[in-house]
Amino acid sequence: MDDIKDIVKKVFLDISSKTISEQKKLEETFEKVLKQNKISGAKISGFRDRHLFVDVDSSARLYQVNLIRNKILAELKSGSADIEKISFKIGKV
């Protein structure tokens, strides 16, 4: 029979690997949508409570991504991401 420490270690490994793979898929889908719209200079900065936070490099880029906000959200949702809202802000990319 496994020790409790072994069981806990397995559970944490399963959780962390699942989280990392979901994050990679989210980032790949986000980058794909930006590439399709010929936009660069934006990067995911965080995700909390079904809310995605994105940093952009300039006010012009902020305007561009706001124009396609709904398209980005729809693509991320179709990629099985559990996202309700996206916020963009000027920050370090």
Average pLDDT per run of 10 along the chain, which is 93 residues long?
Answer: 67 59 85 92 88 93 94 86 89 84
Mean of pLDDT over the chain: 84
Q: What is the pLDDT of residue 83?
A: 86
Count of helices and strands (H, E) across the chain: 3, 3
To the nearest 10°, report the CA torsion of 48, 17, 30, 50: -20
* Element spanning 83, H or E: none
* DSSP 8-state code for residue 57: S
CATH hierarchy code of domain 4-90? 3.30.300.180
pTM comes to: 0.74
- Give the angle 57-62-65 at the CA atoms, nearest 5°: 115
Q: Where are the domains of the chain?
A: 4-90
